[in-house]
Amino acid sequence: MAHDSAAAGGALGRANKALIPIEDTANLLAAFAIMALMILGVLQIVLRSVFNTPITGYIDLVELSMASMAFLGAAYCQRLGSHIRMELLVGRLKGRALWFAEAFGTLAGLFIIGVLIYYSWGHFLRSYTLGDTTIDAEYPVWPSKLLVPIAFSIWFARLALQFIGSVRLFLNPSLEPVAVVVAKDVAEQAQDEIHEVMGDEIDPPQNGGRS
Amino acid sequence: MILGIGMSDPFLVGVLTLGLLLLLIFLGVRVVFAAAIVGLLGLVELRGWGPAAGIIGTVPHSKSSAYALSVLPMFIFIGFLAFHAGMTQQLFDAARKWLGWLPGGLAVATVFATAGFAAVSGASTATAAVFSRVAIPEMLKHGYDRRMAAGVVASAGTLATLIPPSAILVIYAIIVEQSVGKLLLAGFLPGIVSALVYAGIIVFWAILKPGSAPSVSGFSWGERVRTLPGISPILLVVIIIMTSIYSGWATPTEAGALGAGVVFVLALVRGTPLSAIKNSLMESAKLTVMIFSLIWGVLIFVRFLGFSGIPGVFTEWIVGLDMHPMAIMICILLAYAVLGMFMDAIGMLLLTLPVVYPAVIALGFDPIWFGIIVVKMAEICLITPPIGLNCFVVNGVRPDIPLGQVFRGVALFFVADVITIAVLLMFPEVVTWLPNFDFAAWWAGLGS
């Protein structure tokens, strides 16, 4: 990408590199929340059935923790192009037409996520000033509500980069793609699926799998 | 207001926004954005900007933190871990020794090993990928027709969504506000029926063409019994999930957590590297956020749909049709089959159910039954052209079997699926019997 560093690709590339670790960390936090939910569930069953002392406010804890799983990975998912869409048209476009469609799609995302950041912030602020708590164990609700505008802001940043990246390629389709999702055909999607399950363990089929 | 129609004609606003939704989705806008934007614009037209934006600002958090949804990340995590727990080889080995003597024995064994794996995995594509590696080499070694070998793996992968744990059944339950537990239980028997129909059609085909799917025999009973300890963890997970939901001993989330815990410990015992566990967690988080985004996006749209009155009008129209309800049902299922060719199953169900479901219920169909049949329908699209993702997955793991051969191989199983759908249409009890079975009364009856 040496020829690319002069213009928009340079700054865009740097912004992209800066955003990636933030997205990865946010998704990792969501991953930890899933792990914690598993441990909490097992503990709850053991404590309730064996010791007859269920965790106080278990359901409250689960509900509060769900915001981290539901939102924190949104930008990571966007970067990898995993929020579903219909590929019928986009999958067939090439060059300028493709980058126009991509720019339009990310602009739509910027609009709605922008609106949601503003109004979910308001939702958080009301909860914070009123001192809203959960019904059972009376945990404060605001930290969970705060996760929405935070996660959506990272998502917004990712969408902004993708929008700039698409516009840049629309203006000059011959440039190296930076900060855009490269549309995949079904065969490539299938490869992704295989990789997701088997990780790096995938090996040539002839040797019959791992020993 | 944008168009100036406002509350004077909510139905017209509804029709216009539905059109906009279809347009945005066709243009390739991600479904979560398309659904949320259309919901927002529709509400703005009916209620004005302030109230509309205020409503939708609360939807993502309030809808995502419902306890019932917390089972999803658990089921997703189990699915991603299942491969690392390394039970696939044992399952296939056990199935081969017990069922190999049948005509087409290895293919039949693949079906039941896959059904067993489905009990720890809710993802069709993942299941197809895993068994492409375990079962196809064995079948080819015994001289199986390549189309048969590839076809059975691609098709049997679809069993994963019916046999619990199944993420898509949970999503259906949430959207139509039915019991998650009942839907999970309801998927079990149709999953078994699907597997039996697959096995039946393999045996039938193998009798017609014995050379292309030979049986393997010569295993002693001792050898067979020795395969059982290896597959016992799967049985444990099945028992945990099924009995806890059945008896009310644990919520689906707790059962999912315990199931995930068992599979997690197994994966660790099998020496899965931490990097692979982290990878499973990151993938689980990614899939979870994708599904949750879809859910709140569509629920913003549903908020607006309620105001527009579209579902009511659609229901009136469907009920007023001069057709037998079953004929209408078949038309709806065919529409889903066509739609499924172009869209991911979860997105398709989330977008259509808010309008279609009330009509189906008004026609007198059982909500649980419809969930199972519509999910089975969506699964068929995983093996039919043009998308047929499972076929691409098999071809991806086994590039030596051309895609055309995989698609030809699944043709037989497509016939089997049509038979299964027909069975479920004619005998809805297959779906409804288990979730409505009164376990407590039966237990009490045994004691007296």
The CA distance from A2 to the nearest CA of chain B, in Å, is: 32
Using CA atoms of B367, B373, B377, B383 in order, give the dihedral in degrees to the nearest 10: 140
Quote the pLDDT of residue A5: 44
User: How far is residue B144's CA from residue B360's CA, in Å, rounded to a whole number?
Assistant: 43
The B residues from 327 to 346 touching A (CB cutoff 8 Å) are 342-344, 346
User: How far is residue A199's CA from residue B82's CA, in Å, rounded to a whole number?
Assistant: 12
User: pLDDT tens across B211-237, in order?
Assistant: 888 888 888 888 888 888 888 888 888
* CB–CB contact B80 A191 (8 Å): no
Query: Could you tell me the pTM of the whole model?
Result: 0.87
Report whether B308 contacts B42 (CB < 8 A): yes
A69/B contact by beta carbon, under 8 A: yes
Nearest CA in chain A to B274: A199
Chain B residues lying within 8 Å of A206, measured CB to CB? 137
* CB–CB contact B250 A73 (8 Å): no
**Which of A72, A108, A190 is opposite residue B396, by nearest beta carbon?**
A190
Quote the pLDDT of residue A209: 34
Chain B residues lying within 8 Å of A140, measured CB to CB? none
- In the predicted model, what is the mean pLDDT of chain B? 86
State the residue for tokens 């949320």.
B36
* CB–CB contact B56 A186 (8 Å): no
B149/A contact by beta carbon, under 8 A: no
* CB–CB contact B83 A198 (8 Å): yes
Chain B residues lying within 8 Å of A111, measured CB to CB? 37
A28/B contact by beta carbon, under 8 A: yes
User: How far is residue B125's CA from residue B107's CA, in Å, rounded to a whole number?
Assistant: 18
Q: Which residues contact B62 (CB under 8 A, 6 or more apart)?
A: none
A130/B contact by beta carbon, under 8 A: no
Closest alpha carbon to A38 in B83, B286, B71: B71
B282/A contact by beta carbon, under 8 A: yes
B183/A contact by beta carbon, under 8 A: no
Rg (C-alpha) for chain A, rounded Å, is: 22
Quote the pLDDT of residue A201: 56
Quote the pLDDT of residue A183: 67
Give A133's strand partners: A140
The CA distance from B428 to the nearest CA of chain A, in Å, is: 32
- The angle at the Cα of B152, spanning B216 to B129, to the nearest 5 degrees, equals 110
The CA distance from A6 to the nearest CA of chain B, in Å, is: 31
User: Within B122-227, where are the H helices?
Assistant: 124-141, 146-156, 167-176, 180-208, 221-226
Residues lower than pLDDT 70 in chain A: 1-9, 183, 199-211
The A residues from 134 to 163 touching B (CB cutoff 8 Å) are 144-145, 148
B65/A contact by beta carbon, under 8 A: yes
**Which of B73, B249, B258 is opposite residue A69, by nearest beta carbon?**
B73
Best to test chain A binding among B17, B24, B31, B33 (most A CBs inside 10 Å): B33
Q: A-B interface: how many C-beta pairs under 8 angstroms? A: 263
User: pLDDT tens across B385-411, in order?
Assistant: 777 888 888 888 888 888 888 999 998
The CA distance from A209 to the nearest CA of chain B, in Å, is: 6
Quote the pLDDT of residue A205: 39
Q: What SS3 class is residue B415?
A: helix
* CB–CB contact A209 B89 (8 Å): yes
Q: pLDDT truncated to tens, each residue of chain B (448 aa)?
A: 677 777 677 788 888 888 999 899 888 899 899 999 999 999 998 888 888 888 898 899 988 888 888 888 998 888 888 877 777 888 888 999 999 888 988 999 999 999 988 887 777 888 888 888 889 988 998 889 999 999 999 999 888 888 878 888 888 988 888 888 888 888 888 889 999 999 999 999 999 988 888 888 888 888 888 888 888 888 888 888 888 877 778 888 888 899 899 889 988 888 888 888 888 899 889 989 988 998 899 889 988 888 888 888 888 888 888 888 889 999 999 888 888 777 778 888 888 898 899 999 999 899 999 999 998 888 888 888 777 888 888 888 888 888 888 999 998 899 999 999 999 888 888 888 887 777 667 777 776 6
Nearest CA in chain B to A87: B28
Rg (C-alpha) for chain B, rounded Å, is: 23
Phi-psi region of B209 (alpha: psi -120 to 50; beta: other; left: phi over 0): beta
Closest alpha carbon to B75 in B154, B175, B181: B181
User: Within B65-145, where are the H helices?
Assistant: 71-82, 88-99, 105-118, 124-141
State the residue for tokens 């004691």.
B447
Nearest CA in chain A to B80: A197
